[in-house]
A and B are shown apart, each in its own frame.
Chain A
Amino acid sequence: MIRTLLSLIILFAGYMTCCAQNKEVLYDFQEIPQAIMVNPGMNTIYNWYAGIPFISGIYGEGATSGLTVNDIFAADGLDINQKVRDRALNSLGESDEVNGIFQVDILNGGFRSQKNPANFFSFGMYIEGYALNYWPKDLAILAYEGNADKLGQRFDLNDLNASGQFINVLHFGINRQIKNNLTLGARIKLYSGIIDINSTNNSGYFETTSGQNNLLRNTLVSDMRLRTSGLDALLDANDNGSSLGSLFTKRGLFGGDPGLGFDLGVTYNLNKQTVITGSLLDIGLLYHTSDVTNYTIEGSASIEGVEVILPDALSDPNADFWEDLVDEIEELIPFEENSKNYVTFRPIKFYSSIRYNFGKQGEPISADCDCDIKSDGGDRSLYYLNSVGAQLYAISRPRGPQFALTAFYQRRFAKVLALKATYTVDKFTASNVGLGMSLQAGPVNLYVMGDNLFSYGNVADSNYASFQLGLNIISWEIN
């Protein structure tokens, strides 16, 4: 089952990659405690909050560029072979990608320091999984069409760029209002890698040319590797029928690959109504040391079939030219396996925003209390009914950073309801309209948000979709 699933992932991840991971609706949505996870320097307005375990933050996202599920699988009566040829092989480039990611908060909470109310601490644990792959253009053409009648055409092995990771993250953050107009935040993350599979930074090519002696010459220059950690244990557990849950728990709770990361964030009030923010997330790495199996194909060889050049070939009447050829290739391009530890870097995310607040509400959401924190200072967004602004997002990717630009409008309805609408342009879509809602019913906070809503009429035809929801208990009382 798992092998089949992995095969399907790898196959469809002939066309997969990570990760947009842009949480533009959540970003700086201060009524929602989980917004601190995308900016540890966000202005915090609660005394404490506690996420309901396992449902305080559920996030899923899928994105494709250049191709949708509907393009291939629509029940439109067209021949799938023609659709694959026209819409994938002849259309997609090596920078096109598919990605999928999920995050589930296991625990999430935060509290304000009693000793120094300017400090707000947050903590928790979440699991995250993603799969990524760029469209392996040349390899797809080679697999679909072969090398026949393509003399001189190089098939670039660098087109294979795929990875997937499943980790558990334990985090602790501090958020401090430094001055009336400045809040800083930082978070430390302890990663525990459960499964990692990656094949990146490959190089080389396969080429067929006219032969020097024979009709054709096939040349392979290869520097390729597939690195795995935790995969063998997963496959063994599946084969043995042992519990995957206990395996995941063991590897997720620091029995897997250790890692360390940091988040940084800032909020700065330019004036009473204008705020700028920024954050850097997942500055970190994992050191894969447990259950590591790597595969490499390194070397180069050119062959023109079995070559018999007389009279030299007569020197050994028992020569097996075919076996000699096979042995020579295996020697020149050995397929090897090792268990060397390796490092993977987390994809660093960058957010920034500028927000203009207007339509004064009169009192902040936490104004009922006798606040020790600088209630007259900090981010005054919640004093206002409306906010409008722009956000810039970037993520480091194997083939260079990806960017997204978002315009947003946020509207608050007393202390009960807040809505945020976003319009985002990125490599996946230029018509991404998202909506987020935070509903406060007494101490209970429910939030729901979705992305690229215009595509919801036919999700299968969407290049991008994400959702996030969660349930928290929030105490606004301070002191």
Chain B
Amino acid sequence: MKYIPKYLLTILFCAGILGSCAEKQDFDQLDNLDITPTAEASILYVETPEYLINQVTGINFYSQTFNFDAFSEEFFSDNVLDGVITYELENTTSKPLDITFEFLDQAGNSLDSENFMVNAAPTAILTREIAYGPAGRSLDIIRNTSAIRVSAANLGDNTSVSSLPNPTIFLRSSAKFRIRLK
């Protein structure tokens, strides 16, 4: 009889140790977890000094197609949700310029284009944001882009020189896109 309290203690102890429980957990919530970071990086930078523009006769002083596979990479194109491409043009030359960005697919077809008319210096920096996705242009443009073509036309003369130091036309661009990781 004297051991009864000990046995009771033992039973209670084991029940305490082994009788643990847990509130109901809902691991299916994982299905609702959205991991959609927004990544941003520069795309393309082109700078052309005014003396080079002056050397080219004719209106179109520059046109070049750049291979650009970042958007068509499988991971990106499969998971991109929406985003914005930002363009910035800074003109310190003495000429008004007509600049066009074009997104091309693998076959060289134009998917989308953005045109900029830039006044001769002194003029403000021109910034433009183009949205893609549900609230903007079709994401298929981005998904299928394999190259970027930049064309520039000189709407001025071929002799004038800006009074600003190192007169140049700067084309800057960046992309900010939301991607679904899960």
Task: List A residues at the B interface (Cβ < 8 Å).
Answer: 69-70, 72-75, 79-81, 84, 142-149, 208, 211, 213-218, 303-311, 320-323, 413, 416-417, 419, 435, 437, 439, 448-450, 453, 456-461, 465, 467
A73 to chain B: closest residue by CB: B25
Number of interface residues of B (CB under 8 A): 55
Task: List B residues at the A interface (Cβ < 8 Å).
Answer: 3, 6, 9-10, 13-14, 16-27, 29-30, 32-35, 37-49, 52, 62, 64, 66-70, 86, 88, 170, 172-174, 176, 178-179, 181
A307 to chain B: closest residue by CB: B45
In contact, A460 and B25 (Cβ under 8 angstroms): yes
15 additional A-B residue pairs with CB within 8 Å, beyond A148-B40, A308-B46, A308-B64: A73-B26, A80-B29, A81-B33, A146-B178, A147-B37, A147-B40, A213-B45, A215-B174, A303-B41, A435-B16, A450-B16, A453-B17, A456-B20, A458-B22, A460-B22
A146: chain B residues within 8 A (beta carbon): 37-40, 178-179
What are 25 A-B pairs at a CB distance below 8 A?
A69-B25, A79-B32, A81-B33, A81-B34, A84-B33, A144-B37, A146-B37, A146-B39, A147-B37, A148-B37, A214-B42, A216-B41, A216-B174, A218-B42, A310-B46, A310-B49, A310-B52, A416-B6, A419-B9, A435-B16, A458-B21, A458-B22, A459-B21, A461-B22, A465-B20
Question: Given contacts A75-B26, A80-B29, A456-B20, are A310 and B42 in contact (CB under 8 A)?
Answer: no
Partner of B45, one of A75, A143, A305: A305
In contact, A306 and B52 (Cβ under 8 angstroms): no
In contact, B174 and A413 (Cβ under 8 angstroms): no
The 3 closest A-B pairs by CB, nearest first: A146-B37, A305-B42, A456-B20
Tell me the minimal C-beta distance from A63 to chain B in angstroms: 16
Question: Given contacts A308-B64, A310-B62, are A74 and B40 in contact (CB under 8 A)?
Answer: no
In contact, A147 and B66 (Cβ under 8 angstroms): no
Tell me the minimal C-beta distance from A316 to chain B in angstroms: 12
CA distance A212 to B18 in the complex (A): 64
In contact, A323 and B67 (Cβ under 8 angstroms): yes
In contact, B37 and A145 (Cβ under 8 angstroms): yes
In contact, B67 and A448 (Cβ under 8 angstroms): no
Tell me the minimal C-beta distance from A138 to chain B in angstroms: 13
In contact, B23 and A461 (Cβ under 8 angstroms): yes
CA distance A216 to B88 in the complex (A): 12
B29: chain A residues within 8 A (beta carbon): 72-73, 80
In contact, A417 and B45 (Cβ under 8 angstroms): no
In contact, A311 and B52 (Cβ under 8 angstroms): yes
In contact, A416 and B25 (Cβ under 8 angstroms): no
CA distance A306 to B52 in the complex (A): 20
CA distance A22 to B161 in the complex (A): 78
A217 to chain B: closest residue by CB: B42
Question: Given contacts A215-B173, A216-B174, A416-B3, are A450 and B45 in contact (CB under 8 A)?
Answer: no
A218: chain B residues within 8 A (beta carbon): 41-42
In contact, A435 and B17 (Cβ under 8 angstroms): yes
In contact, A70 and B40 (Cβ under 8 angstroms): no
In contact, B44 and A467 (Cβ under 8 angstroms): no
Tell me the minimal C-beta distance from A441 to chain B in angstroms: 10
